Amino acid sequence: MSTRSPVPLTADPPNYAEKRRQLRQERRRRLQLNLWQCSLMVGISLGTLWVSALPMWLVQDLSQIEIEGNQLLSKESIKKRLALPLPQSIFQIQPDSVAQSLEQSSPIRRAYISRALFPSRLLVQVHERIPVATSERGGKKGYLDAEGIWMPESLFDATLQPPELEVLESTAPIEPQIWSSLYQQIRRTKVRIRRIDIRDRSNIFLLTDVAPVRVRIGIYKPSQFQQQLLKLDEMRQLQQKFAASQLDSKVYDCLDVSDQSQPPSLVPKCAGNSPPVP
């Protein structure tokens, strides 16, 4: 009976042991690198916070805010409307967000805000909405700009000189695109228009320097309105006749130019809304 000789247990080949040692070293290097990167990021973050909190980077008060481009609103009024909590690090201020908030809360069409360093300050460039007509909506007084945007009177400084042109609207406000077209024609005409009554869209009235009575336009049509304004410009002698008592403003209610197929005529009683009580 033969016996088997025992199989000796030998160590792993040298190449396997070396690979395991290299893997352990690689893991240690990666761990050390990760720890170093984390420490660096924490250090940078803490350093940034510390630097940004230094007094030289703080917007301490409104005197460090510069306003440009304003015509109607005072600089102090615009600064207060920014509603910035101060003091505040200039790096924490978000210019786009502040500009959007200013446009929504003020009669400002566009606002551009940027940071400036050495010394720290905020630069604000504004393009205001210029009132071109007075208008009342929902019992509140306000203004229309050339684009048909309505703005409550309370948004403006008390020193604002109201525009001469008055617009009478119904509960359904005039659409911005219609007003924009209408206003551009009014702005270009030689006829001085003091009031536009659009309470009835099918029966629009004007108050002009041509006569002391209202002018009936009818429905607003851009091409027709242009011709109506030209006719009015040719009828300035009417004002002289009324002034000389050749015509009595108490007898006539309006000057009707609504029908292009008919010559303008003075009418004792015009259909539509009555003129407002002064």
- Tokens, residue 246: 């050749």
* pLDDT score recorded for residue 29: 81
Q: How many CA atoms lie within 13 A of 128 on its CB side?
A: 19
* pLDDT score recorded for residue 152: 96
Per-residue pLDDT of the chain (278 residues; tens, 9 = 90+): 555 555 555 555 557 777 777 777 888 788 777 777 776 777 666 555 555 556 678 888 999 999 999 999 999 999 999 989 999 988 899 999 999 999 999 999 999 999 998 888 999 999 999 999 999 999 999 999 999 999 999 999 989 999 999 999 999 999 999 999 999 999 999 999 999 999 999 999 999 999 889 999 999 999 999 999 999 999 888 878 877 677 777 888 889 999 988 888 898 888 766 666 55
CA gap 248, 256 in Å, rounded: 16
* pLDDT score recorded for residue 269: 85
3-state secondary structure the chain: CCCCCCCCCCCCCHHHHHHHHHHHHHHHHHHHHHHHHHHHHHHHHHHHHHHHCCHHHEECCHHHEEEECCCCCCHHHHHHHCCCCCCEECCCCCHHHHHHHHHHHCCEEEEEEEEECCCCEEEEEEEECCEEEEEEECCEEEEEECCCCEEEHHHCCCCCCCCCCEEECCCCCCCHHHHHHHHHHHHHCCCCEEEEECCCCCCEEEEECCCCCEEEEECCCHHHHHHHHHHHHCCCHHHHHHHCCCCCCCCCCEEECCCCCCCCEEECCCCCCCCCCC
Asked if 269 and 253 touch (Cβ cutoff 8 Å), the reply is yes
Contact partners, residue 204, CB within 8 Å, separation at least 6: 196, 197, 198, 216, 217, 218, 219, 220
Output b/e per residue, 72-107; b: 16+ Cβ within 10 A. Answer: bbeeeebbebbebeeeeebbebeeeebbebbbeebb
Contact partners, residue 265, CB within 8 Å, separation at least 6: 255, 256
Beta bridge partners of residue 67, listed in sequence order: 124
- Tokens, residue 200: 């009835």
CA gap 82, 168 in Å, rounded: 33
* pLDDT score recorded for residue 6: 56
Beta bridge partners of residue 197, listed in sequence order: 168, 205
* pLDDT score recorded for residue 112: 97
* pLDDT score recorded for residue 25: 80
* pLDDT score recorded for residue 97: 94
Tell me whether residue 122 is exposed, middle or buried, using C-beta atoms within 10 angstroms of its C-beta: 0 to 12, 13 to 18, 19 or more: buried
